[in-house]
Amino acid sequence: MKVLITGGAGFIASNIADRYLELGHEVVIVDNMISGQKENIPAAAKFYEMDICDEALKNVFEAEKPDIVNHHAAQMDVRKSVADPAYDANVNVIGGLNILQNCVKYKVKKVIFASTGGAIYGEQDYFPADEEHPNRPLSPYGITKLTTEKYLFFYNHVYGLNYTILRYANVYGPRQNPHGEAGVVAIFSQRMLRKEQPRINGEGTQTRDYVFVGDVVKANELALTGGDNRIYNIGTGIETDVNTLFRTIASKMDYDVEEVHADAQPGEQLRSVLTAARIQEELGWEPTVDIKTGLERTVDFFRDKM
């Protein structure tokens, strides 16, 4: 198959691109390089430096005629979405619609959409959250991701465009950049390696479900041929608070500095954790990398880059 990956020079999507190529698929990458890295782009992939909001995106679809679109390009910083909701909506909603319109016009068979679990569910009623949990996003980022999900339902109903929605927990691992809430692993790792003082927002008791990027890649692999018109959480079902994360990373690099706390950030949830029981039952996916192992691999990646 030929797969067009938006945001393919980024942390998660570039790992997915590598795997798709290993499986023998053709890969085309579109990325505006605002946060993407040239070194992340596989040599075997065809690359277009372009914004998903550009009208010229249609030229990529016309030239490449992809079978599947894996849509990861996004404004993905929760705090930036709070500061500039209009920009967030332009990238995540208008850019998403530009992709979907071209998918219909050029007869794409399916869209795999990288959505968000925690930011869509908001403060949870129960833990871990399943896909039926009420959607109460607390940030424009969560709102725009949920909006795109609703558009996917519409495009399937009206035009027959299939989709699989993957609601990620907090993804971390090699190639992660320090943008967005999930970037805390990269931020802590980089600053500790530089012997700088990381700061913990708020009391540090807020929890997240940290899922390793390799496991996320596997979910995207399964979505190529399964899970049509389904929504799946991609998480571990395990909560880790920020203080524990700080101490765990520090222990892996002999970083002996006191925790320093800053003000809590607006729009930041207190607890977030997902159950992936649905995708495990339907597609056989489950997380395989525990946080201790995943953090070791991530710290080693950043250490090698220093």
Catalytic residues: 141
DSSP 58-105: HHHHHHH--SEEEE------HHHHHH-HHHHHIIIIIHHHHHHHHHHH
Q: Do residues 117 and 168 make contact, with C-beta atoms less than 8 angstroms apart? A: yes
Q: Angle at the Cα of 228 (from 226 to 233), degrees rounded to 5?
A: 80
Residue found by looking up tokens 């940030």 in the block: 139
Sequence-distant (≥ 6) Cβ neighbours of residue 147 within 8 angstroms = 92, 93
Q: Whole-angstrom Cα distance, residue 157 to residue 100?
A: 13
The two structure tokens encoding residue 156: 């399937």
Angle between helices 140-159 and 95-105 (to 10 degrees): 20
CB atoms within 10 A of CB 156: 16
